[in-house]
Amino acid sequence: MEWKDEGIILAVKRHGESSAIAEILTATRGRSLGLVRGGRSRQMRPVLQPGNIVLATWRARLEEHLGNFAIEPMELKAGLLIGEAMRLAALTTLTAEAQLLPEREPHPRIYEAMRVILDALPDADTWPPLLVRWELGLLDELGFGLDLARCAATGTSEDLAYVSPRTGRAVSRDAGRAYHDRLLVLPQFLKGIQAGAPGPSDVIDGLKLTGFFLDRHVFGPRGVPAPESRHWIVSHLATR
């Protein structure tokens, strides 16, 4: 069987002397793996870099086989990030977390949102809040979405300020005042009512929020840590 799809390189592993196994998040086929013959050649190494957008043709005798990839470059974004530590950390975080998606299961919203972030990486004020929203989307796609529309205690949609770490539901300022120190902060930009770009502290609150639930529902149960690049982003934002 055979299919062709646009995709984002997530990871590449050496296979033998000259080949590589590429892991790609594709637009309609989801996260897919395949053998790239000659993937370690001088011509292919710049193409097979995490974050690059490629056209992948996958072929195998049976669907359950690993299969072979023929890769054509479309947008080589990875090379533009050399020497850009913060952007590189964002790219590393995105590609690492996208590997949490089930194999061969389409997630077009996650793919399109990832493309948006990759295009936004040159703008230091734009991509950090987009990363928070992308992680919220990832939680939702994995079945652990948060309910940020209404207060869990009162049902109101007004003045939502916190998120319950127990239920993942929003809590209003009044309802959460008595035990605010046990709640997670809900940054204004996630409610769609903040004018202008969110500040570093808002983004940090957003990353703490998504990070808490990613650790609980995804990283922890799988016995893997959050990407070190993610911690680095939070630390760097705290110094701005």
Task: State the CB neighbour count (10 A cutoff) for residue 40.
Answer: 17
Q: Does residue 80 register a pLDDT over 90?
A: no
CA distances from 173 to 151, 177, 182 (A): 9, 6, 13
Region of residue 70 (left: phi > 0; alpha: psi -120 to 50; beta: else): beta
For residues 165 and 1, give the distance between their C-alpha atoms in angstroms, rounded to a whole number: 45
CA distances from 103 to 23, 60, 65 (A): 10, 16, 13
Would you list the domain boundaries of the chain? 2-79, 83-148+186-238
Assigned CATH topology for domain 2-79? OB fold (Dihydrolipoamide Acetyltransferase, E2P) (2.40.50)
For residues 67 and 231, give the distance between their C-alpha atoms in angstroms, rounded to a whole number: 35
Per-residue pLDDT band for 238 (boundaries 50, 70, 90) equals very high
Q: Phi, psi (5° rounding) for residue 70?
A: -110, 120
Under 8 Å between Cβ of 48 and 76: no
DSSP-assigned letter for residue 158: S
Task: State the CB neighbour count (10 A cutoff) for residue 158.
Answer: 10
Under 8 Å between Cβ of 54 and 73: yes
Q: What pLDDT, in 10s, does the model give residues 2-58?
A: 999 999 999 999 998 899 999 999 999 999 999 999 999 999 999 999 999 999 999
Q: Does residue 82 register a pLDDT over 90?
A: no
pLDDT, averaged across the chain: 94
Q: Does residue 117 register a pLDDT over 70?
A: yes
Under 8 Å between Cβ of 185 and 161: yes
For residues 55 and 39, give the distance between their C-alpha atoms in angstroms, rounded to a whole number: 15
Q: Chain-centre distance of CA 137, in angstroms?
A: 8
Q: Does residue 59 register a pLDDT over 90?
A: yes
Name which residue leads in pLDDT, 63 or 126.
Answer: 126
